Amino acid sequence: MTSYLGAIGTANPPHCIAQQHIADFMARALQFGDAEARRLRALYRVSGIAQRYSVLPDYGRPDGEYTFFPNTPGLEPFPSVGQRMAVYRREALPLALAAVADCRRQVPGVGLASITHLITVSCTGMYAPGLDIELVQALGLPAAVRRTCVNFMGCYAAVNALKLADDACRADPAARVLVVSVELCTLHFQKSAEDDHLVSNALFGDGAAACLVQAGPLPDGAPSLALAAFHCGLEPDGHADMAWHINDFGFEMTLSSYVPKLIQRGIGRLTEQLLATLPVERADIHHFAIHPGGRKILETIEQALDLTPDDNRFAYRVLRDYGNMSSATVLFVLRDVLAAATPADHGAPVLSFAFGPGLTLEAMLLEIAVSTERPAAAKRHRETLLLEDAAT
């Protein structure tokens, strides 16, 4: 029994902020002098990110016009975890609903009453009764829908959600799983001049993604991805290099400069182990959906697997337009892979990776399933991608 992922809907908050405007905010918040501010702006310029989205407008506003951070030198008193979680609780559900609505537009024939499982994913906020119950109520899902929450696992968490969805569909051919990932990373800005915090402040944005997983291709001619195989690897040497801790002033990300080297060291072995029991060779794979944890991570994977930037174009585009949205990001990349697929790609394998604390390396092999009839929403997104490719 093969399960299929498709109808990937996405959503972002209303505040789209240019990367250099965020750099200006950070320089002011950290009270940097001219030399430090120049180095910080250089870091933002080479990030590969043009803009990011946030539930907080402050990152794009001038001094004295903040609505969440205090309008004081050094932003003191700096917002507490409780204040940040109050914003998460207010903003997570509307963003999740927008992603679900985008997902449903792609498969108008799928009714909410047919959803048997709901899996929610987030590492940037938690509360109970939580987002899962709020989604059940807001969407009018059956109270008996089977709910699972994947929390605090970091950027690879959506892969774990897809594993759970795949297991549900293999166990019950009638299962239809709604997966919803919501990440409000920008709530957790850390006012610190440490290198790890400077880098994480330069990368993360807010976003949500929702998708369907079921046994068999999706209805309405929607393109989908067969879930062929999963494999997880660990690089224990990176235990302290990528980490996620709850501190007094938000959730604190550790992201050291050694992470790309660890990924480069382990990615080849991970790929071999994923493909070891499959009738697929690395040379057969020409489609990739790699989590854009950062520009350097994408470049080191290209070196390790002999990929070109064009092979990685969907990851670079998502990084450029949204930044790293933690667990939701790889679903944005998979959305673009599906949107660009043509009937000629039917049956083609897709290699996907995501990374997170541990250091955890998650790998998926998927297979494109595209019919000659594509829903209007998928056609429009494909046309947008083609126009962007032509412009660049």
Single-letter amino acid, residue 342:
T
Task: In whole angstroms, give the CA distance from residue 179 to residue 332.
Answer: 13
Report the interhelical angle of 259-275 vs 295-305 (nearest 10°). 40
Residue 222 gets which letter from DSSP?
-
Task: Out of 103, 155, 169, 211, pick the active-site residue.
Answer: 155
The answer to whether 155 is a known catalytic residue is: yes
Task: In whole angstroms, give the CA distance from residue 348 to residue 20.
Answer: 39
Residue whose tokens read 């789209």: 16
Task: In whole angstroms, give the CA distance from residue 198 to residue 190.
Answer: 8
Q: Is 252 exposed, middle or buried (0-12, 13-18, 19+ CB in 10 A)?
A: middle
SS3 breakdown of the chain: % helix, strand, coil, rounded to 5? 45, 25, 30
Task: In whole angstroms, give the CA distance from residue 186 to residue 57.
Answer: 10
Longest CA span, the chain: 62
CA nearest neighbour of 265 among 298, 304, 231: 304
In the three-class reduction of DSSP (H, G, I as helix; E, B as strand; rest coil), residue 237 is classed as helix
Q: Which two tokens stand for residue 167?
A: 């297991």
Is the backbone peptide bond immediately before 270 cis, with ω within 30 degrees of 0? no
Q: Which two tokens stand for residue 323?
A: 């930044």
Report the interhelical angle of 131-139 vs 81-106 (nearest 10°). 40
Give the residue numbers marked as catalytic: 155
